[in-house]
Amino acid sequence: MTVTEKTAYLRGLMDGLKINKDTDEGRLFEAIVDTLESLALAVSDIEENNDVINDELDMIEDALDSIDEELELIDEDLGVLFDEDWDEDDFDDDEEYYELICPTCGEELILDGDLLAEGEMKCPACGEDLEFDLSELEDEEDE
C-alpha cells in the first residue's frame, strides 16, 4: 500500500467515525490528515521524479558502456591497449613520450626519450627483455 493510499484510508476512517470537525480534537485530526495527504502527494511526486531520473541514468550508462566498447575495439585495432591508470598529469609537457606494447604480455608501456635512447629495458609486467631499434626514428628526423 502506498503512502497516498494509506492517507486516503485514514481520511476514510476519520469520515466514517463522524468526528466532529468543530471540536478541538476534530480540528486536530483534520489538520493531521491534511498534513499527511500533503506529505503523501510530495512523496509520490518525488518517487515519480526518481523513477524518471533512474531511467535516464540507465540510458546514459548503456550509452557510456557502448562508447567504452567501441573505444576498446578501436584501441585493439590500433594495437594499443587502453590503460585506465594513465594520467596526463603524470607527464612533463616538455618531454616527448612514446607508447610501446610488450610483444610478450601486451602491457602498454609509456617511455620517455631518455629511456628509449638506452635501447633496451625489461618489461615491468612480465620481465621480458625489450630492445629498441631507433634507426627508423632517426631516419624520420633527418628528413
**Is 92 found in the same domain as 63?**
no
Q: What is the spatial distance between Cα 108 and Cα 65, in angstroms, rounded to a whole number?
A: 22
- The answer to whether residue 123 is domain-embedded is yes
- Whether residues 64 and 98 share a domain: the answer is no
Q: How many residues does the chain have?
A: 143
* CB burial string 2-20: b at 16+ within 10 A, e below: ebbeebbebeeebeeeebe
The answer to whether the beta carbons of residues 81 and 108 sit under 8 Å apart is: yes
Q: Do 34 and 70 belong together in one domain?
A: yes
Q: What is the mean pLDDT of residues 105-118?
A: 80
What is the residue whose three cell numbers read 476512517?
Answer: 13
pLDDT of residue 82: 42
- The answer to whether residues 65 and 97 belong to one domain is no
Q: Are residues 74 and 37 in the same domain?
A: yes
Statement to judge: residues 129 and 97 lie in one domain: yes
Using CA atoms of 123, 126, 129, 134 in order, give the dihedral in degrees to the nearest 10: -40
Q: Is position 83 within any domain?
A: no
| Per-residue pLDDT, 47 | 95
pLDDT at 137: 60
pLDDT in tens, 39-78: 999 999 999 999 999 999 999 999 999 898 887 776 655 5
- Residues 62, 97: one domain? no
| Residues of the domain holding 41 | 3-78
